[in-house]
Chains A and B, each alone.
Chain A
């Protein structure tokens, strides 16, 4: 298999094609648009469905319809567009349908800007749409991982009748890196017993998210939770770097983990025993790896491109046991490795307070700088 140089967004599109996506529905928005453009060319070439919808609302509901047929389907967007899609996301969750949603995050809130950010963590991981549901959320940090996780996303969606979100950002989407694409998979020919394709020679089926009887709705919610217990048991993924002898830990996801990796390497070169934990599945969150951190770990630094959304999950996961610091850039500003290195130095050189929240201390430092 030859290595080629591909843009993150286009690599995700081609990976989805090779994973057997039969329909794609989307709407232009920077920094995601290359994905839509690639699909507009590639899908018709293969005789598969592509529609540039009238809005993100249109796109997600086209996906909803396509998902009802049991065939693989997807959409992609960026933060403001994803907000618009959340109505459909809740309905798709409520109808227990598989689908893949790619969110190439940008700076916000509101119209924000087109620079990379990670401020949709809560929206994707802790809800977004109304009702009690969870999505599987995968956070790649490179073009190659974007490809691998796209393929995985379709498999997990089918396996758990679940929405799977590929959560990238403007930098991973726009970046070009060497990568290897997977082989072309044959399209699905066997379908689940819920797929709506016309009642030919069988009882009719219907798919809906309505449950007027609260007791029936409660049953449905139990069913979703039962499935989630399985997801939590089987699908947690994360990567560790230099953790064997680590006395300090840096953690972050996607782009910020990658930036942090550069800083961790630099710190190691200085002799600081620091490691890195990078959650790959943000949902299910790798709680255990934080819970199991040895008491020898003297401090942890959470690095994000948002105001500490994953920070809360990390602290809860280690039961507020490990003294923690926080560092972030917001609004589409991407941190540089040397900024993270500086924070590592601070963590190692000064005692970490345990009587105040890491976000408050970080923000006080930001404000003090002016």
Chain B
């Protein structure tokens, strides 16, 4: 019986080839690890590990090149879309993606990302929105919610003096050069599965040469939010999603035929 049981044993979960297996520097409860894994799984499934080049940014995303087992380059703060443009224009048959947080993408790097999208640059962007600068200790970001306390908006973001959050996906959906713009969330299994499909769809957009694709991923930052992972997830659901509604903001008609 014991032997029989052994033969019946099947692999139900293993590390994707695209993950290096290195321990991450992400804080307990952080959703970056989930995002990294989803990207790795999709690249495995597409068989593209050896043909993909990642562009890391600055912030908690900075060390992604330690975790994904593929060629990587590291951009200055905010400039990942420009760097990805350089890589992709020289190597058009490679799959090129950037991995950026909200401070990097929506603040210092807003020019580079808008113009990459407007040019219809054939790259894929993963945009982790956790409403603050994680790496530097939780300062206010362009996506920080009205009233949200951060280390640089200690009484809560006052929209009168500190302005309003930017809804990036909504904004980019108005650009003719963008082909696939969606917002997903990483707060529960159902949404994580939907996020994975979106990541696949974004890469398929690029492989088909359809132009700029971006998946915005709502994420939690328990350490800097000063919450437990569980209350962080609650906060994301109750506060973030109403302000940053999930959904497809722009989908190129040619993508309709793809069934995942």
8 A Cβ contacts from A33-60 to B: 49, 51, 53-55, 57-59
Residues on B with beta carbons closer than 8 Å to the beta carbon of A205: 71-72
- Whether A53 lies near B71 (C-beta < 8 A) is no
- Complex Cα–Cα for A71 and B94 (A): 14
| Known A-B contacts A61-B82, A62-B83; A23 and B74 likewise in contact (beta carbons under 8 Å) | no
- Complex Cα–Cα for A64 and B85 (A): 10
Residues on B with beta carbons closer than 8 Å to the beta carbon of A207: 72-74
The minimal Cβ–Cβ distance linking B188 to chain A, given in whole angstroms, is: 32
B55 within 8 A of A: yes
- Whether B89 lies near A57 (C-beta < 8 A) is no
- Whether A23 lies near B50 (C-beta < 8 A) is no
A1 within 8 A of B: no
- Whether A196 lies near B79 (C-beta < 8 A) is no
- Whether A65 lies near B52 (C-beta < 8 A) is no
B70 within 8 A of A: yes
Q: What's the interface size class on A, roughly?
A: 35 or more
A204 within 8 A of B: yes
- Whether A206 lies near B74 (C-beta < 8 A) is yes
- Whether B90 lies near A58 (C-beta < 8 A) is no
A234 within 8 A of B: no
- Whether B83 lies near A61 (C-beta < 8 A) is yes
| Known A-B contacts A198-B51, A205-B71; A58 and B115 likewise in contact (beta carbons under 8 Å) | yes
Q: What's the interface size class on B, roughly?
A: 20 to 34
Q: Considering only CB atoms, which chain A residue lies closest to B58 in the complex?
A: A210
B207 within 8 A of A: no
Between-chain CB contacts (< 8 Å), 30 pairs: A23-B90, A51-B119, A57-B79, A58-B79, A58-B115, A61-B76, A61-B82, A61-B83, A62-B89, A64-B73, A64-B76, A65-B73, A65-B84, A65-B86, A66-B90, A69-B86, A69-B87, A73-B86, A88-B76, A196-B87, A198-B51, A199-B70, A199-B71, A204-B70, A204-B72, A205-B71, A205-B72, A206-B65, A206-B74, A208-B56
A123 within 8 A of B: no
The minimal Cβ–Cβ distance linking A366 to chain B, given in whole angstroms, is: 41
8 A Cβ contacts from B102-117 to A: 111-112, 114-115
Q: Considering only CB atoms, which chain B residue lies closest to A205 in the complex?
A: B71
Residues on A with beta carbons closer than 8 Å to the beta carbon of B86: 23, 25, 61-69, 73
Indicate with 1 or 0, residue by residue over B57-92, a CB within 8 angstroms of chain A CB atoms.
000001001000111111110010011111111110
A340 within 8 A of B: no
A354 within 8 A of B: no
A294 within 8 A of B: no
- Complex Cα–Cα for A206 and B63 (A): 11
Q: Considering only CB atoms, which chain B residue lies closest to A202 in the complex?
A: B50
Q: Considering only CB atoms, which chain B residue lies closest to A200 in the complex?
A: B50
Residues on B with beta carbons closer than 8 Å to the beta carbon of A71: 90
Residues on A with beta carbons closer than 8 Å to the beta carbon of B50: 198-201
For the complex with contacts A61-B75, A65-B87, A71-B90, 13 further pairs of A-B residues with Cβ separation under 8 Å are A54-B111, A55-B111, A61-B112, A62-B86, A66-B89, A68-B87, A69-B86, A196-B72, A197-B53, A198-B71, A204-B72, A208-B73, A208-B74
Indicate with 1 or 0, residue by residue over A70-102, a CB within 8 angstroms of chain B CB atoms.
010100000000000001100100010000000
A interface residue numbers (CB < 8 A to B): 22-23, 25, 49, 51, 53-55, 57-59, 61-69, 71, 73, 87-88, 91, 95, 196-201, 204-210
Residues on B with beta carbons closer than 8 Å to the beta carbon of A197: 53, 71, 91, 94
Contact of B111 among A49, A57, A198, A200 (CB under 8 A): A57
B32 within 8 A of A: no
- Complex Cα–Cα for A55 and B82 (A): 10
Indicate with 1 or 0, residue by residue over B37-56, a CB within 8 angstroms of chain A CB atoms.
00000000000011111011
- Whether A196 lies near B82 (C-beta < 8 A) is no
Q: Considering only CB atoms, which chain B residue lies closest to A70 in the complex?
A: B90
The minimal Cβ–Cβ distance linking B135 to chain A, given in whole angstroms, is: 12
Residues on B with beta carbons closer than 8 Å to the beta carbon of A65: 55, 73, 75, 82-88, 90
Residues on A with beta carbons closer than 8 Å to the beta carbon of B114: 54
- Complex Cα–Cα for A88 and B79 (A): 9
- Complex Cα–Cα for A317 and B174 (A): 59
- Complex Cα–Cα for A75 and B174 (A): 31
- Whether B71 lies near A204 (C-beta < 8 A) is yes
Contact of A58 among B52, B53, B71, B112 (CB under 8 A): B112
Residues on B with beta carbons closer than 8 Å to the beta carbon of A204: 69-72
The minimal Cβ–Cβ distance linking B177 to chain A, given in whole angstroms, is: 12
Q: Considering only CB atoms, which chain A residue lies closest to B66 in the complex?
A: A206
- Whether B53 lies near A198 (C-beta < 8 A) is yes
The minimal Cβ–Cβ distance linking A173 to chain B, given in whole angstroms, is: 24
- Complex Cα–Cα for A49 and B75 (A): 20
- Whether B111 lies near A22 (C-beta < 8 A) is no
- Whether A210 lies near B62 (C-beta < 8 A) is yes
- Whether B87 lies near A66 (C-beta < 8 A) is yes
The minimal Cβ–Cβ distance linking B90 to chain A, given in whole angstroms, is: 5
- Complex Cα–Cα for A198 and B94 (A): 7
- Whether B52 lies near A198 (C-beta < 8 A) is yes
- Complex Cα–Cα for A73 and B89 (A): 11
